Chain A
Amino acid sequence: MNDSTQSGDSCSGNQAAPAKPIAKKKRNLPGMPDPDAEVIALSPKTLLATNRFVCEICKKGFQRDQNLQLHRRGHNLPWKLRQRSSKDIKKRVYVCPEPSCVHHDPARALGDLTGIKKHFCRKHGEKKWKCDKCSKKYAVQSDWKAHSKICGTREYKCDCGTLFSRRDSFITHRAFCDALAVETAKPPPPPPTPPPSQKDAADIAPPPEAPSPEHSPATDVVSPVVPVESSSPNPTSISVIEETHMTNLTASCSSSSSSSTNGSSSSNVFSSLFASSTISSSQTTGFTDLFRAIPHPCYTPEIAPSSSSEPIALCLSVNQGYGSAGMERRQYPPGAQPALSATALLQKAAQMGAAPSNASLLRGLGLVSSSSPQQQIETDSASLASGLGLGLSCDGGSGLKELMLGTPSVFGPKHTTLDLLGLGMAVSGGSTGGLSALMTSVNGGLDVALPFDGEEMNEVD
């Protein structure tokens, strides 16, 4: 709005009426004032002044003369609304009076009076308006009003914690949010050793005393495998990676688990076993220590940690390191043999041609005879027969084979083919299966098995 200047030092023109222009005002591009526009420099006082038009009656101030005139109507005072005087409006641009300001230069003049007023207030004025929700201050009242409307109504929150009231800025930020990488000026919690991925090699060397970290809270989480062994403090000649060394370690540890103390003492042993390595106590050994360190509140194991005797007896592959080291067989009653592990049993059964291994069984069951395994079977089952006393069969040894293959027994008295369960696949003997076979075979078996049985019972195996 054009204004008649009182103390202006410019050559401002007459007051033009604030009527709406008939034609739309042409707007210059921002930053590029109309070259042949009139440059007006208003004084700071002018720019800051508000309510310069005062009603003489009630002293009410108005920013615009028009408004004052309309107000005067209410007092029944004579009023006059002035029209826009000149036909063609001279384009006016305004410069900022502050010499250090960018807009002091006419080339950077602002095209709007209100604009220049606001600019002057914001930049060079005192911030008199304060938001009551946050502590932001504003010089221009309209800015303040606009802010307090949206203050506290923010809608978008990035995962890093930044708040946004605008959707577009939120999206932009979110796609490239690396605020946190910058933000965490704090150094990470000091690890005594460097992280695992980089320095594994180094890590291998340091924990020589023990293959892994110890944690006192490990006790309640420790796997029951933990050997009770304390006698081997340095189980690791650490080329720790090697399998053999691993078994060395475990062998020596697990061997004298005869003591098989329960719970508490074992935990002590465990921690002492790995006590020496303080280095590894942190996360460098990555994740292994973690599993022990993390207590499981809802669960407390109560197993006595001791490794089993069975695999020791039967370990097919991993038995190199089992030297002296006090390898006492743990805890089984004298005279009794440790039970074979299930996998060993399966392998044995497979060897005997009974084959709980994929295809051979099917063949064995389905077909009459597979001659190939027979020789092996004979020897095997011969040795087995004595140990087996498997009264299942008509004759001790061949019974197993027959069970699976359904062939007539190779040695021993020939009976109707085994078919204990009426497999019905036997060719010879003609027993087809079902109960009849059951009966016959069993009956047959009775006679023969007895002497065998008598024998085996005395065997110690």
Chain B
Amino acid sequence: MVQEEGSSSVSSSPLQMLSLMSLSPGSLGSPYWLRDMKSEERGLCLIHLLVACANHVASGNMENANIGLEYISHLASPDGDTMQRIAAYFTEALADRMLKNWPGLHKALNSTRITSVADEVLVHKLFFEFCPFLKLSYVITNQAILEAMEGEKVVHIIDLNCFEPAQWISLIRALSARPEGPPHLRITGIHHQKEVLDQMALRLNEEAEKLDIAFQFCPVISRLENLDVEWLRVKTGEAVAISSALQLHSLMAVDDEMIRRNSPSLSKSPNAGNLQRALHMNPRTLSDFLEKEVINSPDSASSSPMCLSTSPKMASFLNALWGLSPKLMVVTEQESNHNGGTLMERMMEALNYYAALFDCLESTVPIASIERQKIEKMLYGQEIKNIIACEGVERKERHEKLEKWIPRLELAGFGRVPLSYHVMLQARRLLQSYNYDGYKVKEENGCFIICWQDQPLFSVSAWRFRRF
């Protein structure tokens, strides 16, 4: 248990000093009742404090929020138990959000931050290795591709975030072993860092040479939002498969304020574009669509389905992908709603979600290690910070549940491809082979949900080009 024993009071306000001192009579350390807490109590305490603090931040009550943060700082720590660590990152996010009220201060504090490319690459690799989620996603994607491309002679795979060679190496092996022989394979990898793609090219070409199959790797160095599908060079006659792992949600980052200002009634009434598309849908999907709209809580404006297509970036991107007539598109996304309009909504969802993620990471890497800390800090921590502290275009981690993705993708012209029994077998086999305890893959309407202790964490669904 890590508790800070040092002097806790930094503020100059006499009232605060007083309050703190009164809490711990005779001692200048942290309030006595904050010490010696068992971890469970402390955890519960942290939860309450976090929620209360977030509430204050949301309502603009900075003073109280500050006090809250102060208390939390006695209990939270990036080196403590799970709840302590979670609290540490959440409070950092909250503090970041508060600091944005002083933009100059915020910029000044962040101006000397050094971002190392190698570190970023490393943390993604760590996430791949220590958590099964990406592995599961890749296994499911690969098996789905194998099945969809049966009989195809020219296969073109587009990876929207190409950084892990293992995924495609395994696909190359599987394709080269299929009974009708390997197809002519082309993989187009998109990433914003050249080094990653270089490494990728090396490994994949090496593997293809070993197996002597016709293979070509085309790197595209670009961020997803700047991508022009022309760069992908899709040719007529080739069968296209698209793999999107935790990428699509960032395209929903829009200037919420502007949208809300421009179309105040947007959330209430469908905008024309949507309606038109809705009319083009076949009756079954339309009714599903409308049903979902009713079910979704009408309160949260920006999460109403009618706002689904208002992100122009997302709509145009999906349209462009649709224009490639993909035979298969596998979409993996976080199964949680972190795109609520209000801070508290997001706070609650994020607390539950990241608690599960921290827990399962702990179960895989129980001994406190630098790797776990890196994943927690540089991956989860950054996501949390983005969800809590950022707004508008900056907020890229706009995770949404599968039930929101389905109508969005259907509107864009994709039809669902149910994931087969064999795919599920592969996924379960992976879990077993790694002895991942506590994870489960559930099937829901042809899509897969990867759960930890029955809490859904990631969703994997497969789509195809569909003519209206």
Contacts and interface: CB of A to CB of B under 8 A. Distances in A.
Nearest to B154: A177
Interface stretch (A54-62, A105-113, A430-438): A430-438
Given A189-B176, A227-B435, A240-B429, A354 B47 contact: yes
B454 interface: yes
Contacts of B48: 349, 354, 400, 403-404
Interface in A169-201: 174-178, 180-181, 184, 186, 188-189, 191, 194-198, 200
A362 B58 CA distance: 12
A345 B47 CA distance: 8
B434 interface: yes
A307 B366 CA distance: 7
B52 A403 contact: yes
A339 B46 CA distance: 14
B129 A301 contact: yes
Interface stretch (B35-43, B101-109, B284-292): B35-43
A432 to B, nearest CB: 12
B41 A389 contact: yes
Contacts of A180: 153, 183-184, 214
Nearest to A295: B166
Interface in A148-178: 159-160, 174-178
Given A298-B122, A421-B67, A283 B362 contact: no
Main secondary structure of the interface of B (DSSP, over half): helix
Contact of B179 (A198, A224, A341, A387): A198
A104 B237 CA distance: 45
Contacts of B293: none
Q: What size tier do the contact residues of chain B reach?
A: 35 or more
A97 interface: no
A211 B432 contact: yes
A389 B47 contact: no
Interface in B99-158: 122, 125-126, 129-130, 132, 135, 138-139, 142-143, 146-147, 150, 153-154
Contact of B348 (A160, A356, A443): A356
A66 interface: no
B83 A345 contact: yes
B41 A318 contact: no
Interface in B410-447: 422, 425-426, 428-438, 440
Contacts of B433: 211-213, 274, 285, 288-289, 292
Contacts of A349: 44, 47-48
Interface in A196-252: 196-198, 200, 204, 211-213, 221, 223-227, 236, 240-241, 243, 246-247, 249-251
A226 B174 CA distance: 25
Contacts of B430: 212, 287-288, 291
A397 B459 CA distance: 40
Interface in B171-203: 171, 173-174, 176-184, 186
A96 to B, nearest CB: 42
B400 to A, nearest CB: 15
B67 A438 contact: yes
Contact of B429 (A288, A302, A365): A288
A250 B36 CA distance: 35
Contact of B63 (A307, A400, A434, A443): A434
B332 interface: no
Nearest to B126: A299
Nearest to A346: B355
B226 interface: no
Contacts of B49: 421
Contact of B67 (A225, A289, A422): A422
B165 A311 contact: no
Interface in A267-285: 274, 282-283, 285
Given A184-B213, A299-B122, A224 B364 contact: yes
B124 to A, nearest CB: 11
B316 interface: no
A20 to B, nearest CB: 47
Contacts of A310: 82, 359, 362-363, 366
> Which residue, of A303, A343, A349, A422, has the highest number of chain B Cβ atoms within 10 A?
A343
A40 interface: no
A294 interface: yes
A340 B86 contact: no
A195 to B, nearest CB: 5
Contact of A226 (B16, B55, B180, B435): B435
- Interface pairs A-B: 10 shortest CB-CB: A212-B433, A391-B33, A290-B170, A308-B366, A342-B355, A250-B437, A287-B170, A211-B432, A345-B43, A339-B39
Given A197-B174, A354-B51, 5 more contacts: A180-B183, A189-B177, A240-B428, A299-B122, A308-B362
24 contacts: A159-B186, A195-B146, A195-B178, A200-B426, A211-B429, A213-B433, A236-B432, A274-B433, A286-B143, A290-B173, A299-B126, A306-B367, A307-B363, A318-B438, A337-B40, A343-B455, A345-B43, A352-B44, A354-B47, A356-B351, A390-B44, A403-B48, A439-B19, A442-B23
Interface of A: 159-160, 174-178, 180-181, 184, 186, 188-189, 191, 194-198, 200, 204, 211-213, 221, 223-227, 236, 240-241, 243, 246-247, 249-251, 253-254, 260, 274, 282-283, 285-292, 294, 296, 298-299, 301-304, 306-311, 315-318, 337, 339-343, 345-346, 348-349, 352, 354, 356-358, 361-362, 365, 387-392, 400, 403-404, 420-423, 433-435, 438-439, 442-443, 446, 449, 453, 457, 461
